[in-house]
Structure 1
Protein backbone atom coordinates (compact mmCIF):
# COMPACT_ATOMS: atom_id res chain seq x y z
CA UNK A 1 0.00 0.00 0.00
CA UNK A 2 1.19 3.48 -0.92
CA UNK A 3 -0.15 7.02 -0.65
CA UNK A 4 0.34 9.64 -3.35
CA UNK A 5 0.66 12.52 -0.92
CA UNK A 6 0.47 15.25 -3.59
CA UNK A 7 -1.36 15.25 -6.92
CA UNK A 8 -3.72 17.52 -8.87
CA UNK A 9 -6.71 15.45 -9.92
CA UNK A 10 -8.80 18.50 -10.85
CA UNK A 11 -6.41 19.52 -13.63
CA UNK A 12 -7.64 19.25 -17.24
CA UNK A 13 -5.22 16.34 -17.85
CA UNK A 14 -7.58 14.08 -15.88
CA UNK A 15 -10.89 15.41 -17.20
CA UNK A 16 -13.13 12.55 -18.28
CA UNK A 17 -10.62 9.93 -17.15
CA UNK A 18 -10.66 10.27 -13.37
CA UNK A 19 -12.31 6.92 -12.61
CA UNK A 20 -9.82 5.00 -14.75
CA UNK A 21 -6.92 6.98 -13.27
CA UNK A 22 -7.95 6.10 -9.73
CA UNK A 23 -8.53 2.46 -10.75
CA UNK A 24 -4.99 2.23 -12.18
CA UNK A 25 -3.64 3.72 -8.98
CA UNK A 26 -5.43 1.12 -6.88
CA UNK A 27 -4.15 -1.66 -9.15
CA UNK A 28 -0.60 -0.36 -8.60
CA UNK A 29 -1.06 -0.41 -4.82
CA UNK A 30 -1.65 3.33 -4.48
CA UNK A 31 -4.74 3.23 -2.30
CA UNK A 32 -4.86 6.83 -1.12
CA UNK A 33 -4.29 10.19 -2.81
CA UNK A 34 -4.23 13.82 -1.64
CA UNK A 35 -5.42 16.15 -4.40
CA UNK A 36 -4.09 19.67 -3.95
CA UNK A 37 -6.21 22.74 -4.64
CA UNK A 38 -4.05 25.71 -5.65
CA UNK A 39 -6.61 28.48 -6.22
CA UNK A 40 -9.97 29.64 -4.87
CA UNK A 41 -11.93 28.96 -8.03
CA UNK A 42 -10.95 25.28 -8.04
CA UNK A 43 -12.03 24.51 -4.47
CA UNK A 44 -15.57 23.28 -5.25
CA UNK A 45 -14.26 20.90 -7.93
CA UNK A 46 -11.52 19.52 -5.69
CA UNK A 47 -13.97 19.03 -2.84
CA UNK A 48 -16.36 17.21 -5.17
CA UNK A 49 -13.63 14.82 -6.32
CA UNK A 50 -12.77 13.94 -2.73
CA UNK A 51 -16.43 13.51 -1.83
CA UNK A 52 -17.02 11.17 -4.77
CA UNK A 53 -13.96 8.95 -4.31
CA UNK A 54 -13.14 7.39 -0.93
CA UNK A 55 -9.49 7.03 -1.94
CA UNK A 56 -9.10 10.80 -2.38
CA UNK A 57 -8.54 13.49 0.24
CA UNK A 58 -7.64 17.11 -0.45
CA UNK A 59 -5.67 20.13 0.71
CA UNK A 60 -6.26 23.79 -0.04
CA UNK A 61 -4.05 26.82 -0.35
CA UNK A 62 -2.97 29.51 -2.78
CA UNK A 63 0.05 28.47 -4.85
CA UNK A 64 2.89 31.02 -4.55
CA UNK A 65 2.92 31.55 -8.31
CA UNK A 66 -0.76 32.61 -8.10
CA UNK A 67 -0.45 34.97 -5.14
CA UNK A 68 -0.17 38.07 -7.33
CA UNK A 69 -3.25 37.06 -9.33
CA UNK A 70 -5.69 36.73 -6.42
CA UNK A 71 -6.69 38.77 -3.38
CA UNK A 72 -4.50 37.89 -0.40
CA UNK A 73 -5.74 34.80 1.39
CA UNK A 74 -7.32 35.28 4.81
CA UNK A 75 -6.62 32.95 7.71
CA UNK A 76 -10.32 32.66 8.46
CA UNK A 77 -10.96 31.55 4.87
CA UNK A 78 -8.50 28.67 5.25
CA UNK A 79 -9.83 27.76 8.67
CA UNK A 80 -13.39 27.62 7.32
CA UNK A 81 -12.34 25.39 4.41
CA UNK A 82 -10.55 23.07 6.83
CA UNK A 83 -13.87 22.18 8.45
CA UNK A 84 -14.60 19.96 5.45
CA UNK A 85 -14.22 16.35 6.63
CA UNK A 86 -11.92 15.42 3.73
CA UNK A 87 -9.57 18.42 3.87
CA UNK A 88 -6.34 17.20 5.44
CA UNK A 89 -3.72 19.90 4.79
CA UNK A 90 -3.06 23.61 4.24
CA UNK A 91 -1.35 24.42 0.95
CA UNK A 92 0.34 24.17 -1.26
CA UNK A 93 1.89 27.46 -0.28
CA UNK A 94 5.47 28.64 -0.20
CA UNK A 95 7.94 30.62 -2.27
CA UNK A 96 8.78 30.42 -5.97
CA UNK A 97 11.40 32.87 -7.19
CA UNK A 98 12.10 31.00 -10.45
CA UNK A 99 9.38 32.66 -12.51
CA UNK A 100 7.64 34.97 -10.02
CA UNK A 101 10.36 36.63 -7.96
CA UNK A 102 8.64 39.98 -8.55
CA UNK A 103 5.91 38.92 -6.11
CA UNK A 104 8.35 37.71 -3.44
CA UNK A 105 7.03 40.03 -0.72
CA UNK A 106 3.42 39.00 -1.32
CA UNK A 107 4.44 35.33 -1.40
CA UNK A 108 6.12 35.68 1.97
CA UNK A 109 3.03 37.33 3.44
CA UNK A 110 0.81 34.58 2.03
CA UNK A 111 3.09 31.87 3.41
CA UNK A 112 2.93 33.31 6.91
CA UNK A 113 -0.88 33.47 6.74
CA UNK A 114 -1.05 29.83 5.69
CA UNK A 115 1.19 28.92 8.64
CA UNK A 116 -1.14 30.70 11.04
CA UNK A 117 -4.03 28.69 9.59
CA UNK A 118 -2.06 25.52 10.32
CA UNK A 119 -1.67 26.56 13.94
CA UNK A 120 -5.39 27.25 14.28
CA UNK A 121 -6.56 24.05 12.59
CA UNK A 122 -3.84 21.59 13.55
CA UNK A 123 -3.53 20.57 9.89
CA UNK A 124 -0.04 20.21 8.37
CA UNK A 125 1.49 22.76 6.00
CA UNK A 126 2.35 21.72 2.43
CA UNK A 127 5.31 23.70 1.10
CA UNK A 128 6.36 24.49 -2.46
CA UNK A 129 9.87 25.94 -2.62
CA UNK A 130 11.87 26.81 -5.73
CA UNK A 131 14.94 29.04 -5.96
CA UNK A 132 14.15 30.51 -2.53
CA UNK A 133 16.11 28.35 -0.09
CA UNK A 134 17.45 31.14 2.12
CA UNK A 135 14.14 32.97 2.59
CA UNK A 136 12.28 29.69 3.00
CA UNK A 137 14.58 28.43 5.74
CA UNK A 138 14.39 31.77 7.54
CA UNK A 139 10.58 32.06 7.45
CA UNK A 140 9.92 28.44 8.42
CA UNK A 141 12.32 28.80 11.36
CA UNK A 142 10.96 32.17 12.49
CA UNK A 143 7.39 30.96 12.36
CA UNK A 144 8.17 27.69 14.14
CA UNK A 145 9.79 29.65 16.96
CA UNK A 146 6.63 31.77 17.17
CA UNK A 147 4.40 28.70 17.39
CA UNK A 148 4.91 25.07 16.39
CA UNK A 149 3.22 23.50 13.36
CA UNK A 150 3.72 20.39 11.19
CA UNK A 151 4.94 20.56 7.61
CA UNK A 152 5.99 18.61 4.53
CA UNK A 153 8.39 19.96 1.92
CA UNK A 154 6.48 18.82 -1.16
CA UNK A 155 8.40 17.54 -4.19
CA UNK A 156 11.65 18.29 -2.40
CA UNK A 157 14.39 19.22 -4.87
CA UNK A 158 16.15 22.05 -3.05
CA UNK A 159 19.58 22.08 -1.42
CA UNK A 160 20.97 20.13 1.50
CA UNK A 161 20.89 23.15 3.82
CA UNK A 162 17.14 23.68 3.42
CA UNK A 163 16.60 19.94 3.85
CA UNK A 164 18.51 20.01 7.12
CA UNK A 165 16.61 23.06 8.35
CA UNK A 166 13.33 21.32 7.63
CA UNK A 167 14.43 18.11 9.34
CA UNK A 168 15.73 20.03 12.36
CA UNK A 169 12.26 21.58 12.71
CA UNK A 170 10.68 18.11 12.70
CA UNK A 171 9.32 18.44 9.16
CA UNK A 172 9.03 15.85 6.38
CA UNK A 173 10.59 15.62 2.90
CA UNK A 174 8.44 14.30 0.05
CA UNK A 175 10.08 12.35 -2.75
CA UNK A 176 8.77 12.87 -6.28
CA UNK A 177 9.67 11.44 -9.67
CA UNK A 178 12.65 13.81 -9.80
CA UNK A 179 14.46 11.39 -7.49
CA UNK A 180 14.33 8.74 -10.25
CA UNK A 181 16.04 10.90 -12.87
CA UNK A 182 19.60 9.76 -13.77
CA UNK A 183 21.12 13.18 -13.03
CA UNK A 184 19.48 13.48 -9.57
CA UNK A 185 22.29 11.77 -7.66
CA UNK A 186 22.82 14.72 -5.31
CA UNK A 187 19.10 14.77 -4.50
CA UNK A 188 19.13 11.04 -3.78
CA UNK A 189 22.06 11.69 -1.42
CA UNK A 190 19.95 14.25 0.48
CA UNK A 191 17.16 11.73 0.93
CA UNK A 192 19.62 9.01 1.94
CA UNK A 193 20.92 11.27 4.71
CA UNK A 194 17.42 11.93 6.06
CA UNK A 195 15.70 9.78 8.70
CA UNK A 196 13.41 7.20 7.15
CA UNK A 197 10.59 8.31 9.44
CA UNK A 198 10.50 11.73 7.73
CA UNK A 199 9.95 10.58 4.14
CA UNK A 200 6.78 10.71 2.04
CA UNK A 201 6.23 9.88 -1.63
CA UNK A 202 4.18 11.71 -4.25
CA UNK A 203 3.70 12.25 -7.96
CA UNK A 204 2.81 15.95 -8.26
CA UNK A 205 0.86 14.60 -11.23
CA UNK A 206 0.23 15.47 -13.96
CA UNK A 207 3.82 16.80 -13.76
CA UNK A 208 7.23 15.15 -13.25
CA UNK A 209 6.53 11.57 -14.29
CA UNK A 210 9.21 9.24 -12.92
CA UNK A 211 11.40 6.92 -14.94
CA UNK A 212 10.30 4.89 -16.95
CA UNK A 213 7.46 7.29 -17.85
CA UNK A 214 9.50 10.50 -17.89
CA UNK A 215 8.17 13.01 -20.38
CA UNK A 216 4.65 11.60 -20.30
CA UNK A 217 1.63 12.70 -18.28
CA UNK A 218 2.16 11.66 -14.68
CA UNK A 219 -0.56 9.97 -12.62
CA UNK A 220 -0.95 8.58 -9.08
CA UNK A 221 -0.22 4.97 -10.13
CA UNK A 222 3.36 6.03 -10.87
CA UNK A 223 3.97 6.64 -7.17
CA UNK A 224 5.08 2.99 -7.20
CA UNK A 225 8.10 3.83 -9.38
CA UNK A 226 9.25 6.61 -7.07
CA UNK A 227 8.75 4.31 -4.09
CA UNK A 228 10.93 1.68 -5.77
CA UNK A 229 13.71 4.27 -6.03
CA UNK A 230 13.14 5.23 -2.41
CA UNK A 231 13.51 1.59 -1.37
CA UNK A 232 16.85 1.43 -3.21
CA UNK A 233 18.05 4.63 -1.55
CA UNK A 234 17.33 3.26 1.92
CA UNK A 235 18.41 -0.31 1.20
CA UNK A 236 14.94 -1.72 1.86
CA UNK A 237 12.47 -3.90 0.06
CA UNK A 238 9.61 -2.06 -1.61
CA UNK A 239 7.20 -3.44 1.00
CA UNK A 240 9.40 -2.18 3.85
CA UNK A 241 9.74 1.28 2.32
CA UNK A 242 6.03 1.46 1.56
CA UNK A 243 5.15 0.51 5.14
CA UNK A 244 7.48 3.21 6.48
CA UNK A 245 6.06 5.95 4.27
CA UNK A 246 2.50 4.88 5.12
CA UNK A 247 3.28 5.22 8.82
CA UNK A 248 4.83 8.63 8.16
CA UNK A 249 1.78 9.79 6.21
CA UNK A 250 -0.57 8.66 8.97
CA UNK A 251 1.50 10.55 11.54
CA UNK A 252 1.56 13.79 9.54
CA UNK A 253 -1.98 13.57 8.15
CA UNK A 254 -3.98 11.93 10.96
CA UNK A 255 -7.27 13.21 9.53
CA UNK A 256 -6.76 10.86 6.56
CA UNK A 257 -5.33 7.95 8.55
Structure 2
Protein backbone atom coordinates (compact mmCIF):
# COMPACT_ATOMS: atom_id res chain seq x y z
CA UNK A 1 0.00 0.00 0.00
CA UNK A 2 1.41 3.39 -0.95
CA UNK A 3 2.07 5.96 1.73
CA UNK A 4 -0.46 8.82 1.71
CA UNK A 5 1.03 11.96 0.27
CA UNK A 6 0.84 15.15 2.29
CA UNK A 7 -1.64 17.75 1.07
CA UNK A 8 -0.22 20.79 -0.70
CA UNK A 9 0.07 23.66 1.81
CA UNK A 10 -1.58 27.02 1.16
CA UNK A 11 0.30 29.96 2.67
CA UNK A 12 -2.20 32.59 1.52
CA UNK A 13 0.56 34.54 -0.24
CA UNK A 14 0.99 35.37 -3.93
CA UNK A 15 3.38 33.21 -5.97
CA UNK A 16 4.74 33.53 -9.50
CA UNK A 17 5.51 30.38 -11.49
CA UNK A 18 8.56 31.53 -13.45
CA UNK A 19 9.13 28.42 -15.58
CA UNK A 20 6.87 25.67 -16.85
CA UNK A 21 5.67 24.25 -20.16
CA UNK A 22 1.88 24.41 -20.19
CA UNK A 23 1.57 22.84 -23.63
CA UNK A 24 3.54 19.77 -22.47
CA UNK A 25 1.28 18.91 -19.53
CA UNK A 26 -0.94 15.91 -20.30
CA UNK A 27 -2.70 14.87 -17.07
CA UNK A 28 -5.25 17.71 -17.07
CA UNK A 29 -6.55 20.41 -19.42
CA UNK A 30 -4.71 23.73 -19.30
CA UNK A 31 -7.49 25.56 -17.47
CA UNK A 32 -7.60 22.89 -14.75
CA UNK A 33 -3.82 23.07 -14.30
CA UNK A 34 -3.99 26.85 -13.89
CA UNK A 35 -7.07 26.79 -11.66
CA UNK A 36 -5.53 24.29 -9.24
CA UNK A 37 -2.48 26.51 -8.85
CA UNK A 38 -4.52 29.69 -8.48
CA UNK A 39 -6.28 28.14 -5.47
CA UNK A 40 -2.87 27.86 -3.79
CA UNK A 41 -1.84 31.45 -4.46
CA UNK A 42 -0.16 31.28 -7.85
CA UNK A 43 -0.94 34.70 -9.29
CA UNK A 44 1.03 34.63 -12.55
CA UNK A 45 2.50 31.89 -14.72
CA UNK A 46 5.31 31.89 -17.29
CA UNK A 47 5.13 29.22 -19.99
CA UNK A 48 8.40 28.77 -21.84
CA UNK A 49 9.12 28.37 -25.55
CA UNK A 50 11.86 25.94 -26.57
CA UNK A 51 11.67 25.50 -30.36
CA UNK A 52 10.66 27.62 -33.36
CA UNK A 53 7.53 25.47 -33.68
CA UNK A 54 6.69 26.06 -30.01
CA UNK A 55 6.74 29.87 -30.35
CA UNK A 56 3.26 30.24 -31.91
CA UNK A 57 1.87 27.82 -29.33
CA UNK A 58 3.16 30.01 -26.50
CA UNK A 59 1.77 33.11 -28.17
CA UNK A 60 -1.65 31.47 -28.53
CA UNK A 61 -1.76 30.17 -24.95
CA UNK A 62 -0.79 33.51 -23.44
CA UNK A 63 -3.56 35.21 -25.42
CA UNK A 64 -6.14 32.85 -23.89
CA UNK A 65 -5.36 33.34 -20.17
CA UNK A 66 -5.01 36.73 -18.52
CA UNK A 67 -2.52 35.54 -15.87
CA UNK A 68 -0.38 33.48 -18.26
CA UNK A 69 2.77 35.06 -19.69
CA UNK A 70 5.40 33.62 -21.99
CA UNK A 71 8.96 33.63 -23.21
CA UNK A 72 10.25 33.20 -26.76
CA UNK A 73 13.50 31.44 -27.61
CA UNK A 74 15.21 28.28 -28.80
CA UNK A 75 16.60 25.70 -26.37
CA UNK A 76 20.16 24.41 -26.90
CA UNK A 77 18.78 20.97 -27.78
CA UNK A 78 17.20 22.57 -30.84
CA UNK A 79 19.80 25.24 -31.64
CA UNK A 80 20.30 23.82 -35.14
CA UNK A 81 16.72 24.91 -35.92
CA UNK A 82 17.48 28.56 -35.19
CA UNK A 83 17.51 30.75 -38.30
CA UNK A 84 17.35 34.39 -39.35
CA UNK A 85 13.59 33.87 -39.62
CA UNK A 86 13.49 32.67 -36.01
CA UNK A 87 15.46 35.72 -34.93
CA UNK A 88 13.00 37.99 -36.74
CA UNK A 89 9.97 36.19 -35.29
CA UNK A 90 11.26 36.51 -31.73
CA UNK A 91 12.04 40.20 -32.17
CA UNK A 92 8.65 40.83 -33.76
CA UNK A 93 6.74 39.52 -30.77
CA UNK A 94 8.83 40.90 -27.91
CA UNK A 95 6.68 44.03 -27.86
CA UNK A 96 3.70 41.85 -26.89
CA UNK A 97 2.78 42.67 -23.28
CA UNK A 98 2.29 38.96 -22.56
CA UNK A 99 5.89 38.09 -23.54
CA UNK A 100 8.29 38.82 -20.69
CA UNK A 101 11.66 37.27 -21.64
CA UNK A 102 13.87 35.68 -24.27
CA UNK A 103 14.20 32.00 -23.54
CA UNK A 104 14.75 29.19 -23.05
CA UNK A 105 18.29 29.66 -24.32
CA UNK A 106 21.72 28.39 -23.32
CA UNK A 107 24.05 25.40 -23.50
CA UNK A 108 23.58 21.69 -22.81
CA UNK A 109 26.70 19.54 -22.96
CA UNK A 110 25.08 16.71 -21.00
CA UNK A 111 22.83 15.49 -23.79
CA UNK A 112 24.80 17.13 -26.63
CA UNK A 113 21.76 17.02 -28.89
CA UNK A 114 23.29 19.76 -31.00
CA UNK A 115 26.85 20.62 -32.05
CA UNK A 116 28.47 22.63 -29.27
CA UNK A 117 29.71 25.41 -31.53
CA UNK A 118 26.20 25.83 -32.93
CA UNK A 119 24.86 25.95 -29.36
CA UNK A 120 27.34 28.69 -28.45
CA UNK A 121 26.54 30.74 -31.54
CA UNK A 122 22.78 30.51 -31.02
CA UNK A 123 23.08 31.28 -27.30
CA UNK A 124 25.10 34.40 -28.10
CA UNK A 125 22.71 35.45 -30.85
CA UNK A 126 19.73 35.23 -28.51
CA UNK A 127 21.57 37.19 -25.83
CA UNK A 128 22.07 39.87 -28.47
CA UNK A 129 18.32 39.89 -29.09
CA UNK A 130 17.75 40.43 -25.37
CA UNK A 131 20.34 43.21 -25.24
CA UNK A 132 18.86 44.92 -28.31
CA UNK A 133 15.31 44.80 -26.95
CA UNK A 134 15.92 45.39 -23.21
CA UNK A 135 14.45 42.02 -22.31
CA UNK A 136 15.59 39.58 -19.61
CA UNK A 137 16.56 36.00 -20.48
CA UNK A 138 15.80 32.49 -19.26
CA UNK A 139 19.00 30.43 -19.43
CA UNK A 140 19.41 26.66 -19.48
CA UNK A 141 22.91 25.36 -18.77
CA UNK A 142 23.99 21.80 -18.05
CA UNK A 143 27.56 20.50 -17.83
CA UNK A 144 28.66 23.70 -19.57
CA UNK A 145 29.73 26.00 -16.74
CA UNK A 146 32.96 27.30 -18.28
CA UNK A 147 31.46 28.26 -21.64
CA UNK A 148 28.34 29.66 -20.01
CA UNK A 149 30.48 31.89 -17.79
CA UNK A 150 32.59 33.05 -20.71
CA UNK A 151 29.56 33.97 -22.79
CA UNK A 152 27.81 35.71 -19.90
CA UNK A 153 30.91 37.74 -19.10
CA UNK A 154 30.88 38.96 -22.69
CA UNK A 155 27.18 39.69 -23.13
CA UNK A 156 25.73 40.48 -19.69
CA UNK A 157 27.34 43.95 -19.53
CA UNK A 158 25.40 44.85 -22.69
CA UNK A 159 22.06 43.80 -21.15
CA UNK A 160 19.99 46.37 -19.30
CA UNK A 161 17.94 43.55 -17.78
CA UNK A 162 19.42 40.18 -16.86
CA UNK A 163 17.09 37.30 -16.04
CA UNK A 164 17.53 33.83 -14.56
CA UNK A 165 19.73 30.78 -14.83
CA UNK A 166 16.89 28.33 -14.49
CA UNK A 167 16.81 24.85 -12.95
CA UNK A 168 20.15 25.61 -11.37
CA UNK A 169 22.34 22.52 -10.91
CA UNK A 170 25.71 24.03 -11.82
CA UNK A 171 28.67 24.74 -9.60
CA UNK A 172 29.30 27.52 -7.09
CA UNK A 173 31.54 29.50 -9.46
CA UNK A 174 28.75 29.94 -12.01
CA UNK A 175 26.27 30.66 -9.24
CA UNK A 176 28.50 33.38 -7.85
CA UNK A 177 29.16 34.92 -11.24
CA UNK A 178 25.46 34.90 -12.16
CA UNK A 179 24.56 36.72 -8.96
CA UNK A 180 27.45 39.15 -9.40
CA UNK A 181 26.22 39.97 -12.92
CA UNK A 182 22.67 40.51 -11.67
CA UNK A 183 20.97 37.23 -12.58
CA UNK A 184 18.70 35.16 -10.36
CA UNK A 185 18.89 31.39 -9.95
CA UNK A 186 15.76 29.35 -10.66
CA UNK A 187 15.08 26.69 -8.03
CA UNK A 188 12.64 23.85 -8.72
CA UNK A 189 11.75 20.40 -7.43
CA UNK A 190 15.34 19.17 -7.70
CA UNK A 191 16.05 20.97 -4.42
CA UNK A 192 13.73 18.48 -2.67
CA UNK A 193 15.47 15.37 -4.04
CA UNK A 194 17.47 13.28 -1.57
CA UNK A 195 20.62 13.28 -3.70
CA UNK A 196 20.54 17.01 -4.57
CA UNK A 197 22.77 18.21 -1.75
CA UNK A 198 24.77 20.21 -4.32
CA UNK A 199 21.68 22.25 -5.19
CA UNK A 200 20.87 22.84 -1.53
CA UNK A 201 24.44 24.06 -1.01
CA UNK A 202 23.95 26.59 -3.82
CA UNK A 203 20.68 27.73 -2.22
CA UNK A 204 22.46 28.12 1.12
CA UNK A 205 25.18 30.35 -0.36
CA UNK A 206 22.94 32.45 -2.62
CA UNK A 207 21.17 35.53 -1.25
CA UNK A 208 17.42 35.05 -1.06
CA UNK A 209 17.12 38.22 -3.14
CA UNK A 210 18.50 36.24 -6.10
CA UNK A 211 16.32 33.12 -6.01
CA UNK A 212 13.19 32.40 -8.04
CA UNK A 213 10.58 29.65 -7.72
CA UNK A 214 9.80 27.46 -10.71
CA UNK A 215 8.57 23.94 -11.41
CA UNK A 216 9.74 23.20 -14.98
CA UNK A 217 6.49 21.21 -15.16
CA UNK A 218 5.76 18.62 -16.41
CA UNK A 219 9.29 17.63 -15.36
CA UNK A 220 11.09 17.44 -11.99
CA UNK A 221 8.12 16.93 -9.68
CA UNK A 222 9.11 17.74 -6.08
CA UNK A 223 8.94 15.40 -3.12
CA UNK A 224 6.44 14.16 -1.96
CA UNK A 225 4.80 13.88 -5.41
CA UNK A 226 7.71 12.44 -7.38
CA UNK A 227 6.50 9.89 -9.89
CA UNK A 228 3.54 12.01 -10.97
CA UNK A 229 3.37 14.74 -13.58
CA UNK A 230 4.61 18.05 -12.22
CA UNK A 231 2.41 21.15 -12.11
CA UNK A 232 2.60 24.74 -10.78
CA UNK A 233 0.43 23.80 -7.78
CA UNK A 234 3.49 22.12 -6.25
CA UNK A 235 5.48 25.36 -5.87
CA UNK A 236 4.84 25.56 -2.08
CA UNK A 237 6.92 22.41 -1.53
CA UNK A 238 9.88 24.07 -3.24
CA UNK A 239 9.48 27.18 -1.12
CA UNK A 240 9.38 25.07 2.05
CA UNK A 241 12.64 23.32 1.18
CA UNK A 242 14.37 26.63 0.41
CA UNK A 243 13.12 27.93 3.76
CA UNK A 244 14.61 24.95 5.61
CA UNK A 245 17.95 25.39 3.87
CA UNK A 246 18.02 29.16 4.47
CA UNK A 247 16.71 28.79 8.04
CA UNK A 248 13.93 31.31 7.46
CA UNK A 249 10.16 31.01 7.32
CA UNK A 250 8.39 29.75 4.22
CA UNK A 251 6.43 33.01 4.26
CA UNK A 252 9.70 34.95 4.01
CA UNK A 253 10.73 32.83 1.02
CA UNK A 254 7.39 33.36 -0.70
CA UNK A 255 7.43 37.12 -0.13
CA UNK A 256 11.00 37.58 -1.34
CA UNK A 257 10.80 35.29 -4.37
CA UNK A 258 7.58 37.05 -5.39
CA UNK A 259 9.38 40.40 -5.26
CA UNK A 260 12.33 38.89 -7.15
CA UNK A 261 10.01 37.61 -9.89
CA UNK A 262 8.34 40.98 -10.29
CA UNK A 263 11.72 42.73 -10.46
CA UNK A 264 13.17 40.27 -12.96
CA UNK A 265 10.29 39.87 -15.41
CA UNK A 266 7.52 42.37 -14.73
CA UNK A 267 9.18 45.70 -13.98
TM-score, reference length from structure 2? 0.90
Matches within 5 A, 1:85-164: 85-100=97-112, 103-146=115-158, 148-164=160-176
Q: Which of 11, 15, 23 is equivalent to 2:24?
A: 11
Match status 1:41 vs 2:53: yes
How far apart, in 1, do the equivalents of 2:81 and 2:88 lie? 20
Q: Which moved more, 1:226-235 or 1:140-149?
A: 140-149
Q: Which moved more, 1:176-185 or 1:144-153?
A: 144-153
Kindly state the Cα deviation for residue 227 of structure 1 after the two structures are TM-superposed.
1.0
1:228 to 1:119, Cα distance in 2 relative to 1, 3 A: same
Say if 2:55 and 2:73, in contact at 8 Å, map to a contact too: no
Match status 1:214 vs 2:200: no
1:254 to 1:102, Cα distance in 2 relative to 1, 3 A: closer
Question: Over residues 77-108 of structure 1, what are the superposed CA-to-partner deviations in whole Å (9 max), with x where a residue is unaligned?
Answer: 32212021200000000000111265111111
How far apart, in 1, do the equivalents of 2:157 and 2:83 lie? 28
Question: Over residues 212-245 of structure 1, what are the superposed CA-to-partner deviations in whole Å (9 max), with x where a residue is unaligned?
Answer: 0112110111111111111212222222110100
- For residue 230 of structure 1, give the secondary structure of its aligned residue in structure 2: helix
Say if 1:163 and 1:173, in contact at 8 Å, map to a contact too: yes
Say if 1:126 and 1:152, in contact at 8 Å, map to a contact too: yes
Say if 1:94 and 1:127, in contact at 8 Å, map to a contact too: yes
Aligned residues: 254
Match status 1:28 vs 2:40: yes
Match status 1:231 vs 2:243: yes
- For residue 173 of structure 1, give the secondary structure of its aligned residue in structure 2: strand
Q: Which runs of 5+ in 1 are unaligned?
A: none
How far apart, in 2, do the equivalents of 1:216 and 1:82 lie? 34
Say if 1:25 and 1:221, in contact at 8 Å, map to a contact too: yes
Q: Name the structure 1 match of 2:4.
A: none
Say if 1:30 and 1:224, in contact at 8 Å, map to a contact too: no
Measured on the aligned residues, the alpha-carbon RMSD in Å equals 1.7
Q: Which runs of 5+ in 2 are unaligned?
A: 1-13
How far apart, in 2, do the equivalents of 1:72 and 1:115 lie? 14
Match status 1:183 vs 2:183: no
Match status 1:62 vs 2:74: yes
Q: Name the structure 2 match of 1:173.
A: 185
How far apart, in 2, do the equivalents of 1:40 and 1:7 lie? 17
TM-score, reference length from structure 1? 0.93
